[in-house]
Amino acid sequence: MNHYSLSPSSKVIERIPVFIISGFLGSGKTTLLNRLLSHAPKSAVIINEFGTTPIDQQLLREHKVPLSTLVGGCLCCQVRGSLTPLLKNLRMAWDSGNKSFERVIIETSGVANPEPVLDILLRERWLAARYSLQGVITTVSAIMDEDHFDYFPEAQAQIAWADTVVMTQTDLATAQAIAKLEARLLTLAPAATRLTAVQGALDPNALLNFPKKFRRLRDTELPDLPDHGFSSITLQLEHPLPWERLQKVLEYLIAHYPKQLVRLKGMVYTPEQNRPLLVQGSAGRLYPAMRLPVRTSDDGIGRLVIITQGEVKSLAEDLMTQLRS
């Protein structure tokens, strides 16, 4: 479907559809994005990662799509100013004949409030005339502790701004936990469409074909979002490590720092084979590691990003101690 707007000179300008994927740390945004790209490969992707080392793009290595990464902060604060020129460059390349994509998908960081991104797309006149915001898709994990919504106001904002809420990891949650989450979602986003996905499996058309225009206003009163206090630890592993050893270290950190350690992710190398290993963890859980295809750009250096909240000095020191032991 084509989207058009009129410029001041009444010249018809074709507008590029934009979808925003939001959701708290570890809720399955990138898994869902992978699913969407398999269905809609002609997409340009912008990924915002809170840490300084990009990891999520490794999950998309099988897709040949225009991919941009904004690292080192949130689109709602530290790297907000980078989004406008990036979207302008994408559009100018598209206008000059590079029509390899039909839509733009923006994946915000797991600690970002999506509202500033919406403001950029809706209020920047040059962008608003050339991009058509379709809506916000927010992922929420069924195994997220109920107190996360009160402890992390960012999680509330992500859901309240959603046009579609996708509940993930239901295969790992109890029926009681799912029922409680559904009741909370009804309070935070009463008008949003609600879907369920297991390992990203759902009908992509249900996400890409929004049944209504994007709603600029929300009825839900949101809490003020203070400085979120999140920080990140980035670790480079110059030499391959046996997975059994690294697994024990990561499981130790998750068990001993359940409040401070909010999310961990990384791509590491092991002596067993040359295919890198994707490592992820959140909500007090280390997920099964997954081998990735080899790429010519791989440098053999492992990288771990640990996103934390609160005092992290002891965690960082403990991490190094465990790796040296």
Check which CATH number belongs to the domain holding 297 and give it: 3.30.1220.10
215 within domain boundaries: no
87 & 125 share domain: yes
299's CB contacts (< 8 A; 6+ apart) are none
175 & 62 share domain: yes
Instruction: Please identify, among 208, 242, 260, the residue that sits at the C-terminal boundary of a domain.
Output: 208
pLDDT at 168: 92
183 within domain boundaries: yes
245 & 202 share domain: no
Instruction: Give Cα 71 to chain centroid, integer Å.
Output: 12
Q: Predicted confidence band at 1 (pLDDT cuts at 50, 70, 90)?
A: very low
SS (H, E, C) the chain: CCEEEECCCCCEEEEEEEEEEEECCCCCHHHHHHHHHHHCCCEEEEEEECCCCCCHHHHHCCCCCCEEEEECCCCCCCCHHHHHHHHHHHHHHHHCCCCCCCEEEEECCCCCCCHHHHHHHHHCHHHHCCEEEEEEEEEEECCCCCCHHHHCHHHHHHHHCCCEEEEECHHHCCHHHHHHHHHHHHHHCCCCEEEEEECCECCHHHHHCCCCCCCCCCCCCCCCCCCCCEEEEEEEECCCCCHHHHHHHHHHHHHHCCCCEEEEEEEEEECCEEEEEEEEEECCEECCCEECCCCCCCCCCEEEEEEEECCCHHHHHHHHHHHHC
Question: Which range among 31-40, 53-62, 88-97 has the greatest average pLDDT?
Answer: 88-97
Query: In angstroms, rounded to a whole number, what is the distance separating the alpha carbons of residues 310 and 113?
Result: 19
109 within domain boundaries: yes
pLDDT(264) > 60: yes
Check which CATH number belongs to the domain holding 76 and give it: 3.40.50.300
33 & 163 share domain: yes
116 & 238 share domain: no
pLDDT at 215: 45
| Number of CB atoms found within 10 A of residue 87's CB | 24
136 & 62 share domain: yes
Dump pLDDT digits (tens) for 186-221. Answer: 888 887 888 988 765 788 787 777 654 444 444 444
Query: In angstroms, rounded to a whole number, what is the distance separating the alpha carbons of residues 318 and 260?
Result: 13
Question: Which range among 219-223, 231-235, 260-264, 310-314 has the greatest average pLDDT?
Answer: 260-264
How many separate domains does the chain show?
2
202 & 255 share domain: no
Dump pLDDT digits (tens) for 152-170. Answer: 778 888 888 888 999 998 8
pLDDT(90) > 80: yes
Task: Look at 318 and 137; give whichever has higher pLDDT.
Answer: 137
Q: Tell me the residue range of the domain where 113 lies.
A: 3-208
pLDDT(78) > 60: no
201 & 253 share domain: no
Dump pLDDT digits (tens) for 301-323. Answer: 888 878 777 766 778 788 888 88
Instruction: Please identify, among 177, 208, 239, the residue that sits at the C-terminal boundary of a domain.
Output: 208
Q: Predicted confidence band at 68 (pLDDT cuts at 50, 70, 90)?
A: confident
pLDDT(134) > 70: yes
44 within domain boundaries: yes
Question: Which range among 119-133, 225-239, 275-289 has the greatest average pLDDT?
Answer: 119-133
300 within domain boundaries: yes
Q: Predicted confidence band at 103 (pLDDT cuts at 50, 70, 90)?
A: very high
246 & 176 share domain: no
pLDDT above 90: percentage of residues in the chain: 19
Query: In angstroms, rounded to a whole number, what is the distance separating the alpha carbons of residues 11 and 9?
Result: 5
Which structure tokens are listed for 18? Answer: 């934009």
Query: In angstroms, rounded to a whole number, what is the distance separating the alpha carbons of residues 3 and 130?
Result: 9
pLDDT at 60: 57
pLDDT at 74: 58
Query: In angstroms, rounded to a whole number, what is the distance separating the alpha carbons of residues 115 and 118?
Result: 5
pLDDT at 312: 67
Q: Predicted confidence band at 5 (pLDDT cuts at 50, 70, 90)?
A: very low
pLDDT(130) > 60: yes
Instruction: Please identify, among 149, 178, 208, the residue that sits at the C-terminal boundary of a domain.
Output: 208
pLDDT at 36: 87
Q: Using alpha carbons, select from 282, 288, 283, 284 the residue that is nearest to residue 247.
A: 288
pLDDT(296) > 60: yes
Mean of all residue pLDDT scores within the chain: 79
33-37, 132-136, 226-230, 243-247: which has the minimum mean pLDDT?
A: 226-230
308 & 162 share domain: no
Which structure tokens are listed for 200? Answer: 């990203």
39 & 149 share domain: yes
222 within domain boundaries: no
214 within domain boundaries: no
318 & 269 share domain: yes
Query: In angstroms, rounded to a whole number, what is the distance separating the alpha carbons of residues 93 and 221?
Result: 40
147 within domain boundaries: yes
